[in-house]
Amino acid sequence: MPLSAYRDSDRTQTAFAKELELNGSPEEKAGRFYCQSPECSASMIFVVSSSSHCAHFRALPSVPHTENCVYGRFSEYDPNKFDERSFDFKNFIQYLDQEQKTPNQQTAGCGSEGLNQNKKPLTTLHQVYGMLKNHDPKERLGGQKVSSMLLDDRSFDEYYDHFYGSHIIEAKVIDRWSFAEERTVPNGVQLNSLEIPERQKYYSKLHLTLRVKGKAIIFSVCFKDAELFETLKNQIKGSNTDYKAFDKPFVVVAGNWKLVPGTHHHYTTVVKNKKQIFCF
């Protein structure tokens, strides 16, 4: 349920569903819109709010999202259910890294508590990703720009040459190369910087890629927990036996990212627990 879309094929003018509902002319509301995903060819229409959903954009069944567009697969987020105003990205990332059950939430701004009474805090990566995908990359949530929290096809250019620190990423598995059991290299600087336990002889790695307009970023996700890696691998593959076919090819990872030494556009992180990753 995207809350924003583009008015033009060059994707320079953003249309926000909420704003369009309040101030748009009938002609504007009846117009065709473009998907937020830069390479998606879906033709979108504006849908007014109702008792079950807020105003949003939807792809026409006759011109749907392309296979690589996540909006075709991931659309179940409903902003009316969640307290977006009290979301704090730093707290959330910290919480994913720890054993604690629910993240600390900032209290909402002055005078807004009553409005947020029935809204739940965002506590899972799935919910937070849903929120970020349904807002324009330039919008601010909890004081931070959406694009500064999520690296996806919309913020790709911003991060292509320089990506570092705590972020959520969205990427895809490629083929069987995506799943690797690699031997720990004793003198590997890369491994030391990734905090892989020294005594561990093998570690599991998931290689992902994000491709936009012929350019690609590679992500190598290292797992401390081999069981978690296996579970995720099975979810991604499903019952497919063909090495290029996947049930759930999109993977979302929240981590502390670093450049793989000696490479370009290749970043890595360590996943410690299942709160940090999911596929769809």
Is residue 134 close enough to count as binding Zn ion by CB under 5 A? no
CB of 65 to Zn ion, least distance (A): 3
Query: Binder to Zn ion among 4, 37, 155, 269 (CB under 5 A)?
Result: 37
Q: Should residue 35 be labelled a site residue for Zn ion when binding is judged by CB under 5 A? A: yes
Residue showing tokens 């978690």: 228
The DSSP annotation for 164-191 comes to: -EEEEEEEEE-SGGGEEEEEPPTT-HHH
65 binds Zn ion (CB under 5 A): yes
Candidates 235, 271, 232, 279; CA nearest to 254 is 271
3-class SS string, 62-93: CCCCCCCCHHHCCCCCCHHHECHHHCCHHHHH
Stretch that binds Zn ion, among 61-69, 135-143, 162-170, 171-179 (CB under 5 A): 61-69
| Position 149 contacts Zn ion (CB under 5 A) | no
**Which of 15, 17, 20, 69 touches Zn ion (CB under 5 A)?**
69
Nearer to Zn ion among residue 70 and residue 194 (C-beta) = 70
Minimum CB separation of residue 71 from Zn ion in Å reads: 4
- Residue 71 touching Zn ion (CB under 5 A): yes
Question: Which ranges in the chain belong to alpha helices (H)?
Answer: 17-23, 26-29, 89-97, 113-116, 125-133, 146-149, 156-159, 189-193, 226-237
Please state the closest distance from residue 232 (CB atom) to Zn ion, in A.
Answer: 25
Task: Give the interface with Zn ion as residue ranges (CB under 5 A).
Answer: 35, 37, 40, 42, 65, 69, 71
